[in-house]
Amino acid sequence: MGETFTLKRGLENVFAAKVIADTETEFTTGTPFHLIPAGELSVSVENDSTDYYFDNTVFARVGREGGSEVTVSGAGLRAAAIAGITGKDIDAATGAVLDEGIFNDGQYYALGALKNNIDGTSEYFWFLKGTFALPDESAKTKGEDTDASGTELTYTAIPTIHKFTETSKVCKRVVIDTETTAISSGADWFDQVVTPDNISTVVELVTNTATETFSGDDSETTFTLANTPVSVTSVTVDGSARSAVTDYTVSGSTITFETAPATGTNNISVTYTYTS
């Protein structure tokens, strides 16, 4: 585990992808696309809680987390691009935007971005499902100054309906910090919307180290580890090192000794690495 604090400085790669299906059995999206050259991004979360008092003290606090409102300001988006993410009609023959003035509550998008830190690390995220609101517009006549305006987008993220296989839970956002989680070689965070079910194909699995002890009885040769090792770094019996192949073998989470370890309490020690 690295440092738990840093300073944020930098924003790039704001992407979006249309949510094609979000059901109990399926979550699918379209191909991510570069949404906007972004200048600033902020996230606020709707939280609400109520304290319940009994016997003159707080008995319980009941709360809920609502939607996450993301505001992205950046370059000026053209009318057709705004229409696309807000569910407005675009006339195929002319390319004109045909705005009925009705909020399209069935047009969901995933939203992802990359935030930089001053120590060279980065934070990647994907909100999996949400809606874009039609942005405010302003314009003014040209003057002697160099003022120009862009677009400010407001996106409200909500949890998915779908419960993902890896977690058996719905999901609102997937986030990684490169201080602790690395993008796999050849992978691109923005090639697809990253979910709990496909994240292992995008990032390197976290490597952990564990040491387990067992008690020999001069009879048992097989012992089961709590995890499946990536590599075994040390095996000792009564403080004496044992060699792989010659003294023991490992298959899956099972270590098997050629000769049963002598009787003792926690006299067998196995140190190994494994992925979460």
Token pair in block for residue 102: 């009705």
- Classified as helix, coil or strand, 86 is helix
Query: Which pLDDT does position 2 carry in this prediction?
Result: 58
Stated pTM of the model: 0.75
Confirm if 97 and 89 have CB atoms less than 8 A apart: yes
Q: What is the residue-level pLDDT of the chain in tens, covering all 276 positions?
A: 456 788 988 999 999 999 999 999 999 999 999 999 999 999 999 888 899 999 999 999 898 888 899 999 999 999 999 999 998 889 999 999 998 888 776 789 999 999 999 999 999 999 999 999 989 888 888 888 878 889 999 999 999 999 999 999 999 999 999 988 889 989 999 999 999 999 999 998 777 899 999 999 999 999 999 999 989 999 999 999 999 999 999 999 999 999 999 999 999 999 999 987
pLDDT at residue 210 in the model: 94
Q: For residue 73, count CB atoms less than 10 angstroms from its CB and return exposed for 0-12, middle for 13-18, buried for 19 or more.
A: middle
**Contacts of 176-184 spanning 24+ positions with Cβ under 8 A:** 176/123, 176/124, 176/125, 176/203, 177/121, 177/122, 177/123, 178/121, 178/122, 178/123, 178/124, 179/2, 179/3, 179/6, 179/117, 179/119, 179/121, 180/1, 180/2, 180/206, 181/206, 183/124
For residue 143, what are the β-bridge partners? none
Ranges of H-type helices in the chain: 79-86
- Note the pLDDT of residue 35: 96
For 181-186, the CB contacts below 8 A with 24+ separation are 181/206, 183/124
Q: Do the beta carbons of residue 10 and residue 116 sit within 8 Å?
A: yes
- The Cα-based distances of 272 to 4, 45, 168, 248, 255 in angstroms read 26, 41, 29, 14, 11
